[in-house]
Each structure stands twice: as structure tokens, then as C-alpha cells.
Amino acid sequence: MKKLKLLFTSALLLIVSACSTSLEKYSMTATDTGFDTIVSFVAYTKNEAQFEEYSSFLKKEFKRYDALFDKYDTHKGINNIKTINDNAGIKPVKVDKEIIELLEQCQTYNTLSNHQFDITMGSVLELWHETREAANNNPNPTIPSTSSLEEAKKHTGWQHVTINKEDSTVYIDDKAVSLDVGASAKGFAVEKIAQKLEDKGLEHAIINAGGNVRMIGSKPEEETWQVGIQIPNLESFSTDSLLSIKIDDSMSIVTSGDYQRYYMYNDQLMHHIIDPITLMPARYARAVTVITKDSGIADMLSTTLFTMSYQDGITLLNTLKEQGIQADALWVYDKTQPKDENVEAMSIMGYDVVVSDGLKDRIVK
């Protein structure tokens, strides 16, 4: 029987090592904060009451952002992404300013990535979503037909979306066009929540929302944060680290991989990250990790780089650098998704690992 496998772990990225400090270390794991993921929160605070105040705020905010960016469900009193999609071809929808901010950020990265990152591909992504859902417990899974994917692709593109920042409205002019912010919303939420916690006085913490990791401040006693990169093993669901990376204070690290949401079709892995050119699951690497300051940017970039060759990915990173955005990346390959022959790599546990220049001195094997 073929099964849809959904990896509900917070270990796409694994937090490595604790430290002794005069502050107390507290942790919390939540499964009911939305975004179809597990959220873990580790903080160093004066006492448990202070930690509970921070963690309560974090959970409340995650639920609020989940409702704002939800494309599947209606939430009372909220105009969200679903509301925008439901009113496509009908009327503009007045939305929260943070939806406007997210959409504008997505539009900017659509341009910077030469349209490789595209949240207007909701019609295409919905076909794949429906097929993955149908594959669950189905001995004869299918894939969307080429004709249906090509027809859906006709109803994509930012030319159909009007954002009125002054009125805080969004309008889609084609009823068959829909927005899907799944590759950006969680990272955006993590970044906003981290910033708000910093404003509240939190100085030492980690938020991990299903692999979207954001450091808050430094580790106590001036130790260096280290984050482990998970082995992309489909069968064992291993949470062991392939390697670790030294991370600067208040940085973000996000991984996109083919082992999160997928099903098998004719012995081929059909995962959830769709190449906007082929309209099929991207076939470049097993996983791509991005390290940069902003979690929202890291979220978008990890998905985008996963749908690109290594060389195109380096070109995009250089383009961002010209825009004043410093980001580094790590690619994981194996025999099923091999690297280019001319790309230098580290061989670790049967995987080829390639890193951008900014990470070469930060790897801990």
C-alpha cells in the first residue's frame, strides 16, 4: 500500500547542545498553534512565570497568523487569504496590513527570483495538494495530468493581482487564480513573533516552527548557537544530524526538503515543492538550507533554491547580495538527486553537501 507520509516533527533543523547559565532554561512544544506543524520554543529566563508569559504570547500569535494566512478555512471576523481567493473576479477584499506586507514581500521575491518563487500558482499547487491527499491510504495513487497542470498554469501571474496599500485591499481579476502563501507565511510569522518577543525583553531563545528556526539574541555566557541539519532519510524518519552549523545571534535558518510531505508513484517520490517551470516536484537536491537574518526571507529562499540548480542558486544569492541582503545556503545531494560533477562537495554519511562561501568556516561535522 502506498502511503502519503507527512513528517510532523520539529527536527528538520535540530537544536544542538545546551549550556550552563545563571538564567533558567525552559522549553515548550505545541501542536495546536496552526500552520500544520509542531512549534517548539526554548528560552532562558529568570523564572518559569516569565517563560510562561513569553510562551503564551507566542502560541497566541501563531494562531492569529495561521488564521490570517489560511487559504482553506474561513475564520470569523477575519478576511484572510481564503477570503481573497473566494472573491477573485468579484471585488477587492480589505485585509490586515500584515497580509499586505507579506504579499508585497512575495511579489518582490518573485521579481528577484525571475518568477521562480510565485505565490500566484495556487491553481497548480491545489491540483497537487488534492492528489497528495487522495494518495493517503490509496494503493493506486495518481499524479495530475499534464493537460490539467498546463490549464491551471494559464491562471497564474502577478498581472492578475492588485494590491492597494493605501486602502489595504487585494483584488484578483481572474476567478481561477488563487494565492498560496505556504512557502512564505510560516517564516513571516516566525520573524514577526521573534521581533515582538525581543521588544518584550526576551534576550536568549530559539523558536522552531517545523524547521523554520529563529534565534533570539545570543546564547547565555556568550556561547555560539549550533543548529543541526537533519539527515534526509525517508524510511527511518531519522532526527539525527548530518552536520551542524555555527549560527550568529538573532539569525534564521530554514530547510526545504523532499522528505516532508510526499507520496510514492511508480517508485518515484512525489513531494510538495513544485517547480514552476516543469509543474512537477523539483528534482535538483534532497534538501536546501538557508541562513539569513529574516526568517520570512529564509523561508522563501529555501523553497526557491530547492527549485533551482546549484549554479542558478548561487546567482540568486549574488543578486540578493547586490540588494544588501546577505544569505548563505547549504545543499544536500545523494545518488537519487546527484550534484553536478563540477561542484565541489563534502562527503558526509553517504551524502554530498555543498555550501556557499559564507558557511565554509561554520560547518561542524
Residue 299 known to bind ligand: yes
> Rounded to 5 degrees, what are φ and ψ at 13?
-125, 130
Whole-number Cα distances in Å, 207 to 28, 256, 258: 10, 17, 22
Q: What interhelical angle do 310-322 and 97-112 show, nearest 10?
A: 120
Q: Quote the Cα angle for 303-103-83, to 5°.
A: 110
Residue 88 known to bind ligand: no
Residue 115 DSSP symbol: T
The span from the CA of 339 to the CA of 16, in Å, is 27
How many Cα atoms sit within 13 Å of 48 on the Cβ side? Answer: 1
> Rounded to 5 degrees, what are φ and ψ at 104?
-65, -40
Question: Any alpha helices (H) in the chain, and if so which ranges?
Answer: 48-68, 81-86, 97-112, 122-135, 146-153, 185-199, 295-306, 310-322
Whole-number Cα distances in Å, 130 to 85, 144, 176, 177: 17, 9, 16, 16
Place of cell 512565570: 49
- CA 349 from chain centre, in angstroms, equals 25
Three cell numbers written together for 329: 545556503
Residue 174 known to bind ligand: no
What residues form DSSP beta bridges with 54? none
Which residues line the annotated binding site? 183, 299, 303
Q: Residue ranges for the binding site for Mg(2+)?
A: 183, 299, 303
